[in-house]
Amino acid sequence: MKHVILGNGPAGVIAAETIRKRAPQDQIVMIGSEDEPPYSRMAIPYLLMGNIEESGTYLRKDIGYFEKLNIEQVRAKASSVDIKNKKIDLGGQSIAFDKLLIATGSVPVQPPIPGIDLPGVHPCWTLEDARAIAQLAKPGSRVLQMGAGFIGCIILEALASREVELTVVEMGDRMVPRMMTNVAGGMIKKWVQEKGVQVFTDTKVEAITQSESGLTVKLSNGKSLEVDLVISATGVRPNITFLKSSGLGIQTGILVNEQMQTSHPDIYAAGDVTEGIDFSTGERIVNAIQPNAAEQARIAAISMTGGDTQSIGALQINVLDTLGLISSSFGLWAGAKGGDHVELVDLAAYKYLRLEFLNDVLVGATCIGTTEHIGVLRGLIQGKIPLGEWKETLLGDPTKVMDAYLGAGQAQSSWMN
């Protein structure tokens, strides 16, 4: 059996390892599009901070690791997939497969802004990007970052650590608008500003032009800024352009079932590239976070080798450290239709907790300034545990989630037994 894995990020590597463990004699070919060892994009900010060397971003550190597992590595970029003849076009050469896993991840979204292709404008997505940014983001350098979403806030921390003069521009009405409520996003903005970072929300970059001193960035709020470097962190999308004419079921991402199988029985997908089932709603979702990619890769590999397992659905989980302020959100953090909520706010102490209920089940949560509730919140939401009378307790004091978890969980266990 020949397994081909398109993509050598976390999902591709975990899948290859899992296949090898389950099928010691099968052929495994892992294809990466960059001229780098398999590495983690999420480690790039730590590289820019100086916390690690480039080798610290590598997913597996041992020399000859993949060779020892008899996992063949190929450096090439897929241009198309022929699902009828089970072949991949690698731009001049082709490779056949018995089973295929597509784990090509995400690519940065490039906003349609005049000047976005100028020298000095970079995404922060690859090791090559990181090298270019490191050359320009020196202490005192003027840097403008477009985007204050999840990835943007991680990059923000790396840039701030390099002692640059940093301005962040976010088109949404708050920071991290896709994982934080209005109040929570506003708290993060205030925290970041107090750390010396200039933040403009409800603002767009309208144009970037070259100037004598570097780059001029025109903003929709009427301001123009002179900067040395522009970072584009305006989001990502599934890397599926090469599949448009393949015949596979595709919407925003590749449609997969609970076994990570696509519309073709011998082709699977895992990670950011997929559009799977949301745990909370049962609807389709692209859930581009690394824990989800790792779990989907494991499930896909088991399925590809004849095993019987399936996903329970992708639970939205976001945990973020922004210049020392911890924030997290889970499940239906923005609330469920017909549901109710409780909100605890302490602006001065940067403490925030909001719980979302549907009937007597906790379905979502947002938290700032503490990590002590994170495991319990996830357990209550993922377990869909009926809270019963504990809901009223939480509506009165949402910090008693541990008591509710223990009390309601024990009650459920007694009922089930």
CATH number of the domain bearing residue 204: 3.50.50.60
Backbone angles phi, psi at 231, to 5 degrees: -105, 125
Residues 76, 35 within the same domain: yes
Residue 282 within a domain: yes
Residue 309 within a domain: no
Residue 317 within a domain: no
Q: Report percent pLDDT > 70 for the chain.
A: 98
Per the CB < 8 A criterion, the answer to whether 356 and 184 are in contact is no
Interacting residues of 194 by C-beta distance below 8 A, sequence separation 6+:
none
Closest CA to 233 of 176, 272, 194: 176
Residue 273 within a domain: yes
Residues 132, 208 within the same domain: yes
Residues 198, 50 within the same domain: no
- What digits encode the pLDDT tens for the residues 49-73? 999 999 999 999 999 999 999 999 9
Domain-ending residue, one of 234, 258, 278: 234
pLDDT for 410 equals 61
Under-70 pLDDT residues of the chain: 410-417
Residues 226, 243 within the same domain: no
- What digits encode the pLDDT tens for the residues 211-234? 988 999 999 999 999 999 999 999
Residue 113 within a domain: no
Q: Give the Cα separation of 132 and 135 in Å (integer).
A: 5
- What digits encode the pLDDT tens for the residues 136-172? 999 999 999 999 999 999 999 999 999 999 999 999 9
Count of CB atoms situated within 10 Å of the CB of 173: 11
Residue 116 within a domain: no
To 10 degrees, what angle do helices 10-22 and 290-304 make?
30
> How many folded domains does the chain comprise?
3
pLDDT for 372 equals 85
Strands ordered across the beta sheet of 274-277? 254-255, 274-277, 284-285
CATH number of the domain bearing residue 395: 3.30.390.30
Per the CB < 8 A criterion, the answer to whether 304 and 24 are in contact is no
Residue listed under structure tokens 């549901």? 339
Residues 226, 277 within the same domain: no
Backbone angles phi, psi at 355, to 5 degrees: -115, 135
pLDDT for 216 equals 98
Structure tokens at 76: 């090439």
The stretches of 23-145 forming alpha helices (DSSP H) are: 44-49, 65-68, 127-136
Domain-ending residue, one of 208, 234, 260: 234
Residues 246, 224 within the same domain: no
Residues 219, 78 within the same domain: no
Residues 94, 171 within the same domain: no
CA 164, distance to chain mean position in Å, is 25
Residues 279, 332 within the same domain: no
- What digits encode the pLDDT tens for the residues 176-188? 999 999 999 999 9
Distances, alpha carbon 200 to alpha carbons 140, 240, 327, 417, in Å: 20, 32, 20, 55
Domain-ending residue, one of 234, 265, 284: 234
Residue 52 within a domain: yes
Structure tokens at 315: 């639970």
Residues 26, 164 within the same domain: no
Residues 226, 241 within the same domain: no
Domain extent at residue 168: 121-234
Residue 82 within a domain: yes
pTM of the model: 0.93
Residues 100, 243 within the same domain: yes
The stretches of 44-149 forming alpha helices (DSSP H) are: 44-49, 65-68, 127-136
Radius of gyration of the chain (CA): 23
